[in-house]
Amino acid sequence: MDEQFDKYSKQQISLISAILEPHWLNRYKDRIDWKAACLYNKHLTDEFLTEHIEFVDFECLGNNLSCVLSEEFIEKHMNQFNHDKPVPLIIRFLTVQMYLNHKDKIKVNSELLFQYYNSIGAPEYKQILDLLDE
């Protein structure tokens, strides 16, 4: 794979960064496109991102709806996401406790929350919606 990777163009490296599994992302960590990996790669995990935290682009990661991250990871790194606009990854995994802990940062309204209803779940959705109405 090393020989093949050396032949990739910049665009090809961006494309492959979006789909490589963690083993390969780690192997080529100094050569991949971390923006593309953070934005599109579904294989990203808490453990992998923690081990490679110096490479993580949190603005891109905040828009990745394919990876599954824990509430603990998101809360730990909450300040590194760009809160100038809603962060889809955070809203997708939003819990009542996370909202209460960070309601001054998290940008969400009832319409946006409804878009993530299936990810959030009915009981959590209703409780967060009630908090938004306060």
- pLDDT of residue 134 exceeding 90, the answer is no
Say if CB 42 and CB 67 are below 8 A apart: yes
CA distance 52 to 74: 15
pLDDT, the chain, mean: 96
Q: Is 87 left (phi over 0), alpha (psi -120 to 50) or beta?
A: beta
pLDDT of 1: 83
pLDDT, tens digit, for every residue of 71-129? 999 999 999 999 999 999 999 999 999 999 999 999 999 999 999 999 999 999 999 99
CA distance 60 to 56: 9
Longest CA–CA span in the chain (Å) reads 59
pLDDT, tens digit, for every residue of 38-80? 999 999 999 999 999 999 999 999 999 999 999 999 999 999 9
Rg (CA), the chain: 17
pLDDT of 75: 96
**Side-chain half-sphere of 26: how many Cα atoms within 13 Å?**
12
pLDDT of 113: 96
pLDDT of 2: 87
pLDDT of 65: 96
Characterize 27-52 residue by residue with b for buried, 16 or more Cβ atoms within 10 angstroms of its Cβ, and e for exposed: ebeeebbbebbbbbbebbebebbeeb
- What residue segments make up the domains of the chain, in order of their start? 1-61, 85-134
The whole-model pTM stands at: 0.92
Say if CB 57 and CB 35 are below 8 A apart: yes
